[in-house]
């Protein structure tokens, strides 16, 4: 089969690799029909995080089940499925708590499992990982494109909102105008927030945030952004979603959080120096910090229900579509901020 391969910073290729096979009775093989390039993929693409050269990439697969192991009960060949960005068993202590990203039997999509940006993947814990799409929606392209963000960014934005404690009637601030931040706006609206202030650097993305439900936007950086948010909220919001991961974004999130409020953080942390995060600002204002890597499998069923009933549609985050051969072009487009998120259709 063919799959996208990391060959070094700025270098993604598409190559022939061994196709994954059933190795355990809990395995399933999925023929990938849709996947995506993630903002977190840019960290290694830019050389800002370590990754083994020659490794397969991608972690947002959707497709058709081709084969299942003897113990798999939740899906069968021919089913349309999507999968979160990590494999989870669904039965261990942490999965039962809704912390599927801490699964003791967890796995990734890379290596011998195929790579999420390739023609086939192996789900080593199929029953705990794969989410079946009802047959009546299985070939509806618009619906499938709305479902695909549930593999990662929609669930991650939702985790930010949940971690920040957003509920009916609240005011919240979303830091970041990438795919996760935009999905955070959708999630805050879904949870009933009355005011949603989206902060970012790109006017076109902030316009999309408004279409997703942001009531106000702030297009500024650093202290200017903090001052603008403080003016809009009379001193900060009780609920802040940090959806970037850069040290500067975390600092902004803390600065715009009202005393006694909560920052829900889901951005993959990068850029902190040896001194780490300044805890005194959190301590002095009794600001809570909650979140981490999003257990998107825990949210998949409820978010899928909303997509299928037409009340949730994150698909506008896909602003460029490529085929498998176009994956290197997709990385370049996201790296150069020419695309919010790239859809890959095989």
Distance separating alpha carbons of residues 216 and 188, to the nearest angstrom? 13
With a cut of 70, say whether residue 239 has pLDDT above it. yes
Residues 93, 235 share a domain: no
Of 99-103, 203-207, 245-249, 274-278, the poorest mean pLDDT is in 274-278
Q: Rounded to whole angstroms, how far apart are CA atoms 331 and 36?
A: 10
Distance between CA atoms of residues 81 and 31, nearest Å: 10
Q: Is the pLDDT of residue 274 over 90?
A: no
Q: How confident is the model at residue 272 (pLDDT cuts 50, 70, 90)?
A: low
Kindly provide the residue ranges of all beta strands, DSSP E only, lying in 119-249, ordered along the sequence.
120-123, 131-132, 171-175, 195-200, 216-219, 237-242
Residue 190: CA count within 13 A, CB half-sphere: 26
Predicted confidence band of residue 238 (pLDDT cuts 50, 70, 90): very high
Q: Which tokens go with 229?
A: 């948010």
The answer to whether 291 and 163 have CB atoms below 8 angstroms apart is: yes
- The verdict on 256 and 159 lying in the same domain is yes
Give the model confidence (pLDDT) of 139-153 as tens digits: 999 999 999 999 999
Per-residue pLDDT averaged across 189-197, rounded? 98
Instruction: For residue 261, give its domain range.
Output: 154-291
Q: What CATH number has the domain bearing residue 211?
A: 3.40.50.720
Q: Do residue 272 and residue 323 come from a single domain?
A: no
Asked whether residue 276 carries a pLDDT value surpassing 90, the answer given is no
Task: Report how many domains make up the chain.
Answer: 2
Tell me how far apart the alpha carbons of residues 170 and 159 are, in angstroms, rounded to a whole number: 16
**Torsion sign over Cα 230, 232, 238, 241:** negative
Say if residue 270's pLDDT is above 80. Answer: no
Q: Which is higher by pLDDT, 100 or 274?
A: 100
Question: Which residue(s) pair with 196 in the sheet?
Answer: 172
pLDDT of residue 204: 95
Distance between CA atoms of residues 208 and 204, nearest Å: 7
79 and 121 both lie in a single domain: yes
Residue 154: its H or E element: helix 153-164
Say which residues have a Cβ less than 8 Å from residue 216's Cβ, sequence separation at least 6.
Answer: 195, 196, 197, 198, 232
Three-class SS state of 255: helix
User: Higher model confidence: residue 280 or residue 309?
Assistant: 309
Q: What is the pLDDT of residue 247?
A: 87
The stretch 251-278 carries a mean pLDDT of 86
Question: Mean of the pLDDT values across residues 315-320?
Answer: 98
Distance CA 266, CA 2 (A): 31
pLDDT band at 273 (very low <50, low <70, confident <90, very high): low
The share of the chain scoring above pLDDT 70, in percent, equals 98
Exposed, middle or buried by CB within 10 Å (0-12, 13-18, 19+), for 292?
middle
Angle at 303 between CA 91 and CA 157, to 5 degrees: 95
d(CA 95, CA 105): 10
Round to whole Å and give the CA distance between 62 and 245: 26
Question: Of 256, 274, 291, which residue constitutes the final position of a domain?
Answer: 291
Q: What is the crossing angle of helices 153-164 and 179-190, to 10°?
A: 50
Residue 23 pLDDT exceeds 80: yes
- For residues 130 and 233, membership in a common domain is answered with no
Which of 258, 275, 291 lies at the terminal end of a domain, its last residue? 291
For residues 279 and 239, membership in a common domain is answered with yes
Q: What average pLDDT does range 78-97 have in this prediction?
A: 98
Domain of 109: which CATH number?
3.90.180.10
11/132 same-domain check: yes
Q: Note the pLDDT tens digit of each residue in 31-87.
A: 999 999 999 999 999 998 899 999 999 999 999 999 999 999 999 999 999 999 999
Is residue 303 within 8 Å of residue 82, measured between CB atoms?
A: no
Same domain, 18 and 128: yes
Query: pLDDT tens digits for 147-179?
Result: 999 999 999 999 999 999 999 999 999 999 999
> pTM of the full predicted structure?
0.96
Assess whether 239 and 322 both reside in one domain. Answer: no
Q: Are residues 33 and 104 in the same domain?
A: yes
Tell me: do 159 and 271 sit in the same domain: yes
Computed over every residue of the chain, the mean pLDDT equals 96
Q: What is the DSSP string of 213-249?
A: T-SEEEE--HHHHHHHHHHHHTS-EEEEEE-S-BHHH
User: What is the C-alpha to C-alpha distance for residues 261 and 236, in angstroms, rounded to an integer?
Assistant: 9
- 240 has which bridge partners? 173, 263
Residue 275: per-residue pLDDT: 64
Q: Distance between CA atoms of 77 and 61, rounded to whole angstroms?
A: 16
Is pLDDT at 237 greater than 90 in this prediction?
A: yes
Q: Answer yes or no: are the C-beta atoms of 303 and 150 closer than 8 Å.
A: yes
Of the candidate ranges 20-24, 55-59, 200-204, 279-283, the one whose mean pLDDT is the lowest: 279-283
- My answer on whether 185 and 43 are in the same domain is no
For residue 279, name the pLDDT band (cuts at 50, 70, 90).
confident
Final residue of a structural domain among 263, 291, 319: 291
pLDDT the model gives residue 316: 98
Q: How many helices (H) and strands (E) would you count in the chain?
A: 12, 16
């Amino acid at each position: 089969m063919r799959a996208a391969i990391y060959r070094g910073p700025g270098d993604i290729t598409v190559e022939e690799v061994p196709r994954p096979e059933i190795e355990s009775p809990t395995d399933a093989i999925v023929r990938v029909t849709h996947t995506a390039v993630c903002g977190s993929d840019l960290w290694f693409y830019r050389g800002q995080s370590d990754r083994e050269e020659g490794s397969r990439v991608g972690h947002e697969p959707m497709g058709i089940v081709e084969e299942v192991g003897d113990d798999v009960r939740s899906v069968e060949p021919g089913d349309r499925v999507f999968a979160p960005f990590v494999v989870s068993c669904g039965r261990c202590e942490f999965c039962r708590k809704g912390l599927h990203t801490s699964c003791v039997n967890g796995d990734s999509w890379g290596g011998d499992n195929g790579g999420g940006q390739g023609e086939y993947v192996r789900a080593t814990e199929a029953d705990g990982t794969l989410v079946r799409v009802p047959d009546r929606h299985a070939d509806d392209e618009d619906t499938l494109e709305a479902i695909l963000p549930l593999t990662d960014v929609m669930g991650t934005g939702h985790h930010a909102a949940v971690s920040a404690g957003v509920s009916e009637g609240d005011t919240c601030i979303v830091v970041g105008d990438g795919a996760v931040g935009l999905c955070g706006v959708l999630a805050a609206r879904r949870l009933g927030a009355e005011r949603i202030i989206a902060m970012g650097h790109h006017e076109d993305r902030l316009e999309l945030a408004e279409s997703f439900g942001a009531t106000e936007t702030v297009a500024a950086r650093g202290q200017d952004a903090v001052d603008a948010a403080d003016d809009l909220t009379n001193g900060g919001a009780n609920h802040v979603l940090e959806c970037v991961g850069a040290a500067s974004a975390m600092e902004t999130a803390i600065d715009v959080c009202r005393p006694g409020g909560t920052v829900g953080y889901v951005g993959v942390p990068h850029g902190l120096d040896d001194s780490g995060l300044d805890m005194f600002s959190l301590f002095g204002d009794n600001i809570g910090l909650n979140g981490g890597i999003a257990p998107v499998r825990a949210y998949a069923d409820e978010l899928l229900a909303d997509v299928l009933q037409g009340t949730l549609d994150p698909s506008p985050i896909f602003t460029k579509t490529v085929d498998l051969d176009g994956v290197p072009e997709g990385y370049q487009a996201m790296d150069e901020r020419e695309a919010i998120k790239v859809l890959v259709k095989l």
